[in-house]
Amino acid sequence: MYKAVKQKFLGLPTPLQYLIGGATLFLAYKVVFKNPQDTNNENLIKDTDKELKENLKQNKLTFAPSQYGAFANIIYESTKYGIGDNYGAVTDTLKKMQNNADVNFLTKIYGARQNYVFGIPVGEKRDLFTNVRAELGNELGFLKVRIDNINKDWATKKIKYRF
């Protein structure tokens, strides 16, 4: 079987061979070399309930509890694949948060979710903050402007959390 696969691979046009080889190396890199930001922030998840109780004493939730599930799904579905991510939807959704309780509850509902590259699970499950930092504040810094916009929006609303 190995010989048959090797024969088919070598029969492919050279650019396609490079594409397959590059995709394989990319996936191997993402699985083996994890960015420290990509690891699950367990303290955030553990402290969310405690902070939520404190914040609910000061602020009410802006939306119905079920709406936060929809927000969490929008953010997740907009960032879970390596291709076709919709960072604008993530930014717009996060800017809807009006107070600390909103952010806490969204973080709780989001939980920790798995990301994928070409349909293959990559890395560990990520909480909301880790996922947004990794996706919108990518390694090259091209998308950091989106994170800065969210942080500025939250600062004007006196939300204490930052990405």
Q: What is the C-alpha R_g of the chain?
A: 19
Q: What is the pLDDT of residue 80?
A: 83
Q: What is the pLDDT of residue 28?
A: 75
**pLDDT at residue 39 tops 60:** no
Q: What is the pLDDT of residue 37?
A: 47
Average pLDDT over the chain reads 84
Classify burial at 25, counting beta carbons within 10 Å of its beta carbon; exposed 0-12, middle 13-18, buried 19 or more. exposed
**pLDDT at residue 89 tops 80:** yes
Better pLDDT: 137 or 64: 64
**pLDDT at residue 135 tops 90:** no
Q: What is the pLDDT of residue 87?
A: 86
